[in-house]
Structure 1
Amino acid sequence: MMYYFVTVLVLLIDQFTKYLVVANMQIGDSVTVIPGFLYLTSYRNTGAAWSILEGKMWLFYVITVIVVMIIIYIMQKYAKGHPLFSTSLALVLGGAIGNFIDRLLHQEVVDFISTVFGHYYFPIFNIADTALSIGVVLLLIYIFISDSKAKGTGK
């Protein structure tokens, strides 16, 4: 049950930061946080990562509902007692729902975190995207650790 708190926390932070961006910045406005590296840039995305599948909201609705149901099922059935597994799923769940709320209410996702690495401008993202990414990395770590333990014990 504690892991749903992580999901709700991600949702609250995600939606609050998006609200602040929409309320205080025009699309295209940018504020320097760390010169040459980190900026807050108001942007809207009607697609998924890197703007793929732009305008295909119906597809995002269907996929998100299915993914959310699967994650909740897995959390209830298999993740209990596995803190890393549960946390990874809670982060993915919070991120998925955060962007789903945007798509459902506004038919676009508010993105605002802009990073630059030398001459490479990484696609602008948000807190939900960050939670999703961290959740997937933690899930991969969990799978790697579980697989290593299973091989080490002869299972």
Structure 2
Amino acid sequence: MSLKKSVLIIAVLLLIDQGSKYYIKTHFVLGESVDVFNWFKILFIENSGAAWGAKLSDFLPVSESTGKLILTVFRLFAVAGIGYWLYDTVRKKSSKTLIWAVSLIFAGALGNIIDSVFYGMIFNDSYQQVATAFSAEPYGDIFHGKVVDMLYFPIIDSTWPEWVPYFGGSDFRFFEPVFNIADMAISTGVGILIVFNKSAFGKKEADAYSDSWDDYVARTEKE
């Protein structure tokens, strides 16, 4: 796969991701939801931390603002690293499977970093109101934006049976996390690398092993 095709994939995913986030941000109040099916809802939440809503300040003695800044800077370096990985993968003419996977991961990482870097200074607060873009009173500043999530799949929404130790009677939901298109791209890319590992890496490693074996045989014959 060429670099141009990879960039096209990334551009399309970014357009869908950012378009959906912009729509949700400018049409939904924080916490508002719409039922699409019994097992699928559009639910607007914002994630100011890492995966599962975790914050760096929960683990380190830093303020929430400082923790957010550190996390965003780390994400920037991570995106740069993934971008180089993608470039190097294409340059080495690796398998299409690997290029597809890395392209998806890069697009997802870039989609979320846009939120973290810019949304704080573009939108005003969504609490009890619908936000507006390029507001005169943004809710934050650069590097302190919140990631917009909206895809919610409560496939099972029930309660634990009373006889279950500790959990009995409490709510049980599957699948509970709320995510976005960028998260889907990252998860799909990682899933491809795990499920199709041999297709992504196998040929390259096999060729390297074959070349090493041929060199060994050649040296042995000379001796």
Question: 1 or 2 for the larger relative contact order (CA 8 Å, sep ≥6)?
Answer: 1
Q: How far did residue 92 of structure 1 move?
A: 0.7
Query: Structure 1 residue 8 and structure 2 residue 3: aligned?
Result: no
CA RMSD of the aligned region, Å?
2.2
What are the ranges of 5 or more consecutive residues in structure 2 without an aligned counterpart? 57-63, 121-144, 158-172, 211-223
Give the alignment of 1:100-139 within 5 angstroms: 100-105=113-118, 106=120, 107-119=145-157, 120=173, 121-139=175-193
CA 1:38–1:64 in structure 2 vs 1: closer, same or farther (change >3 Å)?
A: same
Identity of aligned residues (%): 28
TM-score (structure 1 length as normaliser): 0.87
Give the alignment of 1:31-42 within 5 angstroms: 31-35=34-38, 37-42=39-44
| 1:63 alignment partner in structure 2 | 74
Match of 1:23 among 20, 26, 40: 26
Considering only CA atoms, is the larger Rg found in Structure 1 or Structure 2? 2
Partner SS state of residue 33, structure 1: strand
Q: Distance in 1 between matches of 2:70 and 2:197?
A: 28
Partner SS state of residue 80, structure 2: helix
Structure 1 residues 93-125: Cα deviation after superposition (integer angstroms, max 9, x where no partner): 111111111111221011111111213142111
Match of 2:49 among 47, 50, 74: 47
Partner SS state of residue 44, structure 1: strand
Maintained 8 Å contact 2:36/2:42: yes
Maintained 8 Å contact 2:32/2:44: yes
Partner SS state of residue 148, structure 2: strand
Q: Distance in 2 between matches of 1:28 and 1:86?
A: 37
Q: How far did residue 147 of structure 1 move?
A: 5.8
CA 1:75–1:45 in structure 2 vs 1: closer, same or farther (change >3 Å)?
A: same
TM-score (structure 2 length as normaliser): 0.62
Q: Distance in 2 between matches of 1:95 and 1:126?
A: 9
Match of 1:74 among 63, 85, 101: 85
Q: How far did residue 6 of structure 1 move?
A: 1.0
Partner SS state of residue 14, structure 2: helix
Amino acid at match of 2:189: G
Q: How far did residue 48 of structure 1 move?
A: 1.7
Q: How far did residue 78 of structure 1 move?
A: 2.7
What are the ranges of 5 or more consecutive residues in structure 1 without an aligned counterpart? none
Q: How far did residue 4 of structure 1 move?
A: 1.3
